[in-house]
Amino acid sequence: MQSILSQCATLDEEFVILVPIIETMIEELSVVSREFVSSKLEFLKKYSTSLKSSQIDARIHRNQQIRNLIEYVKMHRQSKTKSVSQIYTTSKKRQKFHTDSGCYPVQKCYSISCSTLQTTEFNVISPQQNNKYITTKILKQLITKQKKHQQKASEQIFRLISKCMNLISENPHQFPQYSILLEEYKAIKKNNSCLEQKLNLEEKSQQVKDNIKKLIQSQESFKSYLNSII
């Protein structure tokens, strides 16, 4: 028992050392990433206060989580400058995707490497597996940001998340984190039922408009055919 308590104390000391390390790195992140990391770190701190003195497995898991968080910060910090540079230099050559807000951090999550998507000026660096890993992380951040404001959800972000999820659902096998994102997306929809109903209504309305348009085109074609044989 004494050995377990000693190991728990060592793990707690390690956690105390890791916390300020990640806190000093947060300021080098983008706004969305900073909020994501800060919320995760705050959760781990609160989680630590709830642990009993002998819960060694929980402490191991907690420390692993914060180490993973540090690696994430390092990766994002290292790629940040290069990503911004590439976005700037290729912006005139690539097709732009516009949203109502025109917000860069929000639009960036559209850069999902999928065969059904067009290339946009917000594509990330690599088109291979690393690209999928990074872009799902961005979508994860966006969902996390939305969950923090579920009572007064941003309609623009909600729409964007919905579009992103619809796009990656066409090829879910290409995104390892898809199942996790899907569960969190369902939770967001549940807590924002009014926005979900509005979005569904707009989609159905658009489908009706499209069907009417096709019907008119079909009638015009039939009319032209009749005129040709008369």
In a domain, 83, yes or no: yes
In a domain, 141, yes or no: no
In a domain, 208, yes or no: no
What total number of domains does the chain contain? 1
In a domain, 7, yes or no: yes
CA 57 to chain centre: 29
Q: What is the per-residue burial (b if ≥16 Cβ within 10 Å, else e) of 89-110?
A: eeeeeeeeeeeeeeeebbbbbb
Low-confidence residues of the chain: pLDDT under 70:
1-2, 78-154, 222, 225-226, 229-230
Instruction: Count CA atoms closer than 13 A to 123's CA, side-chain side.
Output: 19
Instruction: Return the pLDDT at 144.
Output: 63
| Domain region containing 8 | 1-90
Residue owning tokens 């002998």: 54
In a domain, 77, yes or no: yes
Instruction: Return the pLDDT at 147.
Output: 54
In a domain, 35, yes or no: yes
Residues 88-110 pLDDT 10s:
444 444 444 334 433 333 334 33
In a domain, 195, yes or no: no
In a domain, 3, yes or no: yes
Instruction: Return the pLDDT at 217.
Output: 78
pTM of the model: 0.35
